[in-house]
Structures are given as structure tokens and as C-alpha cells.
């Protein structure tokens, strides 16, 4: 038996869910095998690291294992066999068998979950905790056998009806306490599984109408809640990174974590920047009216680019469609920012993306991930070549050359007054501005793609 087959049997047991699909291998761009990588060669070295080390891919439990096609207009469309059991613990184990089979066959090094993706919430805090503790033990065995790690954990503080007015920002204290209990257990699970990170996405941390909302008080409560989480986790040995995942709207009308810039202001205000970075999601940035690369750059400039949720919005829709990424132009521009920022340390690329409702075969899950991984791998290579061999950085540097010496340098150093600027302007007379040459930069990306 090959090593890869042994590894898979160890992880999935004797009952594979993805029959007929073997470990996905790199076969190169000329291969016609749909179930192979054309660009992602995990051992290929780019800019001093392997692709696997650079990209740190992760499968999102909620979309790929729990989602079965339900939307606002209709029920499930996918008959995933791992969701068939009626007993909650059996279902949780089946789901985890399927998860680790999918993850190891894809050769993805990480996964991410919400607490109740792993196992259904119980009727009481105690029952939920018991279920979670039990499935975490199972996950530990799976991680050890497969060498797959937890990129980050999180708590689902937005689905249950008790959170309809928010979790940490709920106007009722008793609901904040419920959220705290859930947060504590999710942190315990993340710590037990050696999570490299812990995410807060404020699904309902926001408001629908200002008429019934004390925004200042709610945001102070959020600051308190995050501080308590940080203190608890650090006290209990969590060495990973906390992330906030910005999103401007949906499900609430106004979310407090609107975009990267808003979140950075919040983290500064509550003195949390030492422990928190950002988990930037493509489709959230675009919902905020930005490009993905814009929010990445805002985070990077504050030394807070932690991790990303990879997906793609629909150019015509105004909501969060969470499609698998495949836009090379967009992802290449993102990889330029990520590489220039020094790449990921604790973070990685989590596929927070779902199959379309009418993609119903098990193999579709593989095809979607393979194409997403190939898109990032190709963009990594292109971005690295642009940075290493093209005049890109030099052009951008030269655009600001007037600040490198003389009066421009004095301005940057704070050595000029407004009166000085006036004297310089009078001396110079009218100036002919230089071309921004946007199209030239765009053509460079096309050349290297």
C-alpha cells in the first residue's frame, strides 16, 4: 500500500465517503485529468518557501461539510451521506470522517470550524459542552493521524434566535452571558486542538434601527467581551492569533466591524492590537465598496494582516455569494499585497466558499477546491515574478521620488511649515502633473499572467 493510501485509511477508516477519488496530485497545466492540480505543486519553492508553506490552505467546515444547498427559497439539494444519521453524535462523527477524508485527499494542511459545525448545539449549556468535548477528542485523533491542523476556530454567535439582537452587543445582559459561555467553550475547543488562530466575525454585532439602539454602549460591550476572551485564552495557554473578520452588512443592516479600517480603529481604541489581527474576506471587502486588495493593504499597513477568507462575489449581485475564487486578475493583485507584507505567519487561506446550489455531486467539492487552490498557486507565481523581475516596485517608488530628498524629505520629516509650502509654491509657479499610468501597471499584470 502506498504511503498516501495508508495515511488516508488511517484518517477515514474503512468507509470512504468519496469513493473513487484518490489523493489529488499535481499533474501540470497540460493534464486533462479534472481531479488533478494544474498549478498547485505543494513542494514547488517560490520566493524561498514551498507553495504549501506560502498558501496554508484551509477547508471551511460550515460550507463544505454542513451546507447542503438550502437557500431562502428552498431546502437541501445535496444528499451528502455524512449528514444522514439522526443521532447527533453519530452525525458529528460521520461529518468529521468526511471532513478529514476531503481534507487529506486534497492535501490541504488546515481546516476551520464554528463550534456547532462540529456537532449540533444541545438543549442546555452543559449538554452542548459535553457534546463539544466529546467531538474535540475525536478531532484530536484525526488531526494526529493526518497531520492536519486547525487554522482557526470560532463560535457561531449569530444563528440561534437568542442572538437576534446581537451576542456581545445584545441590549440584554443575560444574553451576553450566554454568548460568553459559548465563547469559553469554543476557545477551550480551539486551544485543545492547537488552533493557530481564533476568529470573531460579528454576524449580528450591529443594528437594524438607530431608533432602538445605544450604539456607544453596544460597542463598549464588544470591547469588553473581546478583552475577556483575550484574557481567558492567554491565561489558558492560547499562543495563537485572534482575528476580527470585517463585514459591512448582512445579516444586520449596520455591522460594527464594517471594514478593515473601521476594525483597526476599534482595536486601537480598546488596546487590542497586540493580540488581534484581521481576517480579510474577499466578498466582505467588496460589499463594503472596496476591492479585496484595498482591505488587505489597509490591514498590512497596520501590521495586522493575519489571515484571509478566500471566495469571490458576483459582479452583478449586491450580496455575499461566497463563490469559489477563480478570478486571476483579482487574486494576483491580492497576492502582490500579501507577498509584499511578508506572507502569512499564523494565518492562511481559508476557503469560505460554497458550491452553487445546483452543484450536487461529491466530486464537485473536489473540483471547486482544486480550482481555488490552482487560482491562488498561479497568482502566487505571477505576483512573485512581478515583484522580482518587473519594474513594478521601481515605478511605484519613482512616483514618490520627490519625497526622497530636498524639500519633499523635509516635509516628511515635519521640518516645513505651511508658510514654507507657500513660499515653495510661489517660487515654482504652476506645475504640470505627471501621468499616473494606471493602464501601464494593469498591462504589467496581463503580461505576467
> Using CB under 5 A as the criterion, which residues of the chain lie in contact with Co ion when the complex forms?
281, 309, 352
Residue 154 binds what, of ligand XUL, Co ion, none (CB under 5 to 8 Å, by partner type)? ligand XUL
Alpha-carbon span 248 to 154, nearest angstrom: 19
Cα dihedral sign, 211-320-199-45: negative
Q: Which of 61, 80, 163, 201 binds ligand XUL (CB under 6 A)?
A: 201
Q: Would you say 63 or 221 has its CB closer to ligand XUL?
A: 63
Least gap, CB of 299 to ligand XUL (angstroms): 15
> Can you list the alpha helix ranges (DSSP code H) found in 278-400?
282-287, 292-301, 328-340, 362-389, 392-399
259 near ligand XUL (CB under 6 A) = no
Q: Which of 188, 295, 352, 384 binds ligand XUL (CB under 6 A)?
A: 352
Q: Would you say 145 or 249 has its CB closer to ligand XUL?
A: 249
Least gap, CB of 283 to ligand XUL (angstroms): 8
Q: Would you say 352 or 374 has its CB closer to ligand XUL?
A: 352
Phi-psi region of 218 (alpha: psi -120 to 50; beta: other; left: phi over 0): alpha
Residue 320 binds what, of Co ion, ligand XUL, none (CB under 5 to 8 Å, by partner type)? ligand XUL
Contact 230, 192 (CB under 8 A): no
Q: Which of 117, 275, 320, 374 binds ligand XUL (CB under 6 A)?
A: 320
154 near ligand XUL (CB under 6 A) = yes
Q: In the stretch 77-96, what mask flags binding to ligand XUL with x, by CB under 6 A?
A: --------------------
Least gap, CB of 403 to ligand XUL (angstroms): 39
Least gap, CB of 114 to ligand XUL (angstroms): 6
Least gap, CB of 206 to ligand XUL (angstroms): 13
Least gap, CB of 422 to ligand XUL (angstroms): 50
Q: Would you say 111 or 201 has its CB closer to ligand XUL?
A: 201
Q: Would you say 54 or 247 has its CB closer to ligand XUL?
A: 247
E strand intervals along 303-365: 305-309, 349-351
Q: Which residue is nearest to ligand XUL (CB)?
A: 201
Q: Which of 38, 54, 95, 247 binds ligand XUL (CB under 6 A)?
A: 247
- 112 three-state secondary structure: strand
374 near ligand XUL (CB under 6 A) = no
Instruction: Kindly give, in sequence order, each residue whose CB lies less than 8 Å from that of residue 375, ignoring residues fewer than 6 positions away.
Output: 39, 325, 326, 327, 328, 331
Q: Which residues on adjacent β-strands are paired with residue 197?
A: 241
Q: Would you say 12 or 154 has its CB closer to Co ion?
A: 154
Do strands 57-60 and 49-50 pair parallel, antiparallel, or not at all (unpaired)?
A: unpaired
Active-site amino acid positions: 114, 117
DSSP string for 121-185? --SSHHHHHHHHHHHHHHHHHHHHHHT-EEEEEE---SSSGGGTT-STT-SSHHHHHHHHHHHHH
Alpha-carbon span 209 to 252, nearest angstrom: 10
Q: Which of 115, 188, 257, 281 binds ligand XUL (CB under 6 A)?
A: 281
Least gap, CB of 401 to ligand XUL (angstroms): 41
Q: Pick from 77, 89, 187, 69: which is nearest to 134 by CA?
A: 89
245 near ligand XUL (CB under 6 A) = yes
> Please, what is the angle between helix 3-12 and helix 125-146, to 10°?
170
CB atoms within 10 A of CB 326: 14
Q: Interface residues with ligand XUL (CB under 6 A)?
A: 114, 154, 199, 201, 245, 247, 281, 309, 320, 352
Amino acid at each position: 500500500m502506498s504511503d498516501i493510501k495508508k495515511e488516508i485509511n488511517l484518517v477515514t477508516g474503512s468507509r470512504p465517503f468519496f469513493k473513487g477519488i484518490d489523493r489529488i496530485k499535481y499533474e501540470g497545466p497540460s493534464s486533462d485529468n479534472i481531479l488533478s492540480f494544474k498549478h498547485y505543486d505543494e513542494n514547488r519553492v517560490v520566493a524561498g518557501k514551498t507553495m504549501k508553506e506560502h498558501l496554508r490552505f484551509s477547508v471551511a467546515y460550515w460550507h463544505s461539510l454542513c451546507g447542503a444547498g438550502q437557500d431562502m427559497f428552498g431546502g437541501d439539494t445535496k444528499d451528502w451521506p455524512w449528514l444522514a444519521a439522526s443521532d447527533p453524535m453519530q452525525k458529528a462523527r460521520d461529518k468529521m470522517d468526511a471532513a478529514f477524508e476531503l481534507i487529506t485527499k486534497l492535501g490541504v494542511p488546515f481546516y476551520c470550524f464554528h463550534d456547532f459545525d462540529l456537532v449540533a448545539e444541545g438543549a442546555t449549556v452543559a449538554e452542548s459542552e459535553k457534546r463539544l468535548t466529546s467531538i474535540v477528542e475525536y478531532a484530536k485523533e484525526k488531526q494526529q493521524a493526518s497531520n492536519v491542523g486547525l487554522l482557526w476556530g470560532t463560535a457561531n454567535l449569530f444563528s440561534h434566535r437568542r442572538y437576534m439582537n446581537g451576542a456581545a452587543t445584545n441590549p440584554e445582559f443575560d444574553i451576553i452571558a450566554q454568548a460568553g459561555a459559548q465563547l469559553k467553550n469554543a476557545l477551550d475547543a480551539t486551544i485543545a486542538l492547537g488552533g493557530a488562530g481564533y476568529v470573531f466575525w460579528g454576524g449580528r454585532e450591529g443594528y437594524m434601527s438607530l431608533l432602538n439602539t445605544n450604539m456607544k454602549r453596544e460597542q463598549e460591550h464588544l470591547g469588553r467581551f473581546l478583552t475577556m476572551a483575550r484574557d481567558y485564552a492567554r491565561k489558558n495557554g492560547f499562543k495563537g492569533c485572534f482575528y476580527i473578520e470585517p463585514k459591512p452588512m448582512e445579516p444586520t443592516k449596520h455591522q460594527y466591524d464594517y471594514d478593515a479600517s473601521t476594525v483597526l480603529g476599534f482595536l486601537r481604541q480598546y488596546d487590542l492590537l497586540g493580540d488581534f489581527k484581521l481576517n480579510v474576506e474577499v466578498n466582505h471587502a467588496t460589499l463594503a465598496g472596496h476591492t479585496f486588495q484595498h482591505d488587505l493593504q489597509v490591514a498590512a499597513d497596520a501590521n495586522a494582516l493575519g489571515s484571509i477568507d478566500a471566495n469571490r462575489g458576483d459582479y452583478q449581485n449586491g450580496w455575499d455569494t461566497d463563490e469559489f475564487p477563480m478570478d486571476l486578475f483579482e487574486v494576483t493583485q491580492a497576492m502582490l499585497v500579501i507577498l509584499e507584507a511578508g506572507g502569512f505567519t499564523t494565518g492562511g487561506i481559508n476557503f469560505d466558499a460554497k458550491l452553487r446550489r445546483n452543484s450536487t455531486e461529491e466530486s464537485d467539492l473536489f473540483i471547486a477546491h482544486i480550482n481555488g487552490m490552482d487560482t491562488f498557486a498561479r497568482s502566487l507565481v505571477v505576483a512573485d515574478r512581478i515583484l522580482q523581475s518587473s519594474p513594478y516596485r521601481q515605478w511605484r517608488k519613482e512616483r514618490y521620488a520627490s519625497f526622497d530628498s530636498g524639500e519633499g524629505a523635509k516635509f516628511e520629516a515635519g521640518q516645513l511649515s505651511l508658510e514654507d509650502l507657500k513660499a515653495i509654491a510661489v517660487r515654482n509657479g504652476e506645475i504640470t502633473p505627471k501621468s499616473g499610468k494606471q493602464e501601464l501597471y494593469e498591462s504589467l499584470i496581463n503580461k505576467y499572467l
